[in-house]
């Protein structure tokens, strides 16, 4: 344990914990997406096929990372936030941190009409890495499709079962107890190494609510990974969610980035 206290976890240049993830978008109009990515000042096409680098400049120049208030930006050499790859009818945005994903989803939602492409899910890692730890080689090694699907469908199935139990409860008190037991059980579970978050946009739901939910979901898992890195094995996902919600709403300053 002492070794870990002396050895910080790996971070990216803008200060966040290194936790690689992959956003997956369903692509409806391939020709339009090429036009959009080529016109954006913050994206630059690379020589390697249909791939673009996403930089901290141009349209996202005002993006703020609260963890790096003292970070010295060099306008001549902007930070690369992630990479974008188009394959068939899918877009992948590969990012090195949860924070960048929470910035990327609303940013590209503004830049890309949902009729052209829409975010579908994100795959991510529930751990932080030591500075000298061997890092996974590429996203193929990180994310196993069958396992991610299994975990996601199990979570959805468990939720629907609890929902059915609550609906069939004889009293509101009984339904509340069922829900509380489910929440406590989920909070105590060991998080899987890799996990998937599914986006669901509905006309009647404002996109800002979806982005906020996504932030709370990822921020909670980031906190669990960091707390457990430093030996707080009793820190649960419920603790993380409570802390995140308090951070977001506590001062009535509802800015999911700051």
Give 29's pLDDT tier (boundaries 50, 70, 90): very high
Give kind and range of the element (H or E) at residue 44: strand 43-45
Between 128 and 76, residue with greater pLDDT: 128
Confidence at residue 151, expressed as pLDDT on a 0 to 100 scale: 67
Residue pair 123/22 in contact by the 8 Å Cβ criterion: yes
**Strand positions, DSSP E, 12-102:** 21-27, 43-45, 51-55, 80-87, 90-95
Task: Dump pLDDT digits (tens) for 72-95.
Answer: 777 778 889 999 999 999 999 999
**What is the average pLDDT across 29-50?**
91
Section 115-119 average pLDDT: 94
- The chain-wide mean pLDDT, for the chain, equals 81
pLDDT tier at 177, thresholds 50, 70, 90: confident
> What is the pLDDT at residue 239?
85
pLDDT per residue over 142-152, tens digit each? 666 676 667 66
Please tell me the predicted confidence (pLDDT) of residue 223. Answer: 92
Helix axis angle, 237-249 to 172-188, nearest 10°: 110
Given pLDDT bands bounded at 50, 70 and 90, which one contains residue 203? Answer: low
Residue 86: closest CA among 14, 140, 21, 37: 37
Q: Is 165 helix (H, G, I), strand (E, B) or coil?
A: helix
Taking residues 56-70, report their average pLDDT. 76
Q: Which residues of 123-147 are buried (b: 16+ CB within 10 A; e: fewer)?
A: bbbbbbbeeeeeeeeeeeebbeeee
CB 38 within 8 A of CB 45: yes
pLDDT band for position 246 (cuts 50, 70, 90): confident
Mean pLDDT of 38-61: 91
With tokens 């107890």, the residue in question is 177
**pLDDT (mean) for 108-133:** 91
pLDDT at 121: 92
Distance from C-alpha of 61 to C-alpha of 107, rounded to nearest angstrom: 11
Around Cβ 85, how many Cβ atoms within 10 Å? 17
Report residue 113's pLDDT band, with 50, 70 and 90 as the boundaries: very high
CA 180 to chain centre: 26
Q: Where are the domains of the chain?
A: 2-249
Q: Is the pLDDT of residue 139 over 70?
A: no
The answer to whether 104 touches 81, Cβ cutoff 8 Å, is yes
Phi-psi category of 109—alpha, beta or left, where left has phi over 0 and alpha has psi -120 to 50? alpha
């Amino acid at each position: 344990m002492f070794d870990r206290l002396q050895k910080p976890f790996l971070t990216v240049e803008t200060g966040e914990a290194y936790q690689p993830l992959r956003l997956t978008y369903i692509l409806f109009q391939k020709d339009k997406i090429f036009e959009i990515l080529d016109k954006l000042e913050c994206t630059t096409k690379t020589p390697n096929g249909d791939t673009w680098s996403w930089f901290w400049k141009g349209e996202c120049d005002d993006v703020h990372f609260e963890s790096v208030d003292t970070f010295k930006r060099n306008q001549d050499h902007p930070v690369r936030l992630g990479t974008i790859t188009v394959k068939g009818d899918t877009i992948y945005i590969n990012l090195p941190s949860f924070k960048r994903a929470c910035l990327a989803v609303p940013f590209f939602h503004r830049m890309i009409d949902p009729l052209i492409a829409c975010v579908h899910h994100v795959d991510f890692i529930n751990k932080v890495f030591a500075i000298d730890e061997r890092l996974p080689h590429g996203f193929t090694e990180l994310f196993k499709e069958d396992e991610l699907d299994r975990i996601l469908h199990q979570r959805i199935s468990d939720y629907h079962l609890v929902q059915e139990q609550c609906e069939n409860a004889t009293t509101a008190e009984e339904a509340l107890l069922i829900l509380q037991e489910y929440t406590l059980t989920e909070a105590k579970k060991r998080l899987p190494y890799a996990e998937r978050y599914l986006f669901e946009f509905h006309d009647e739901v404002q996109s800002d609510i979806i982005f906020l939910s996504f932030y709370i979901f990822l921020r909670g898992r980031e906190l669990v990974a960091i707390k457990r890195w430093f030996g707080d094995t009793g820190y649960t996902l419920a603790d993380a969610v409570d802390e995140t919600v308090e951070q977001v709403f506590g001062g009535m300053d509802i800015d999911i980035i700051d």
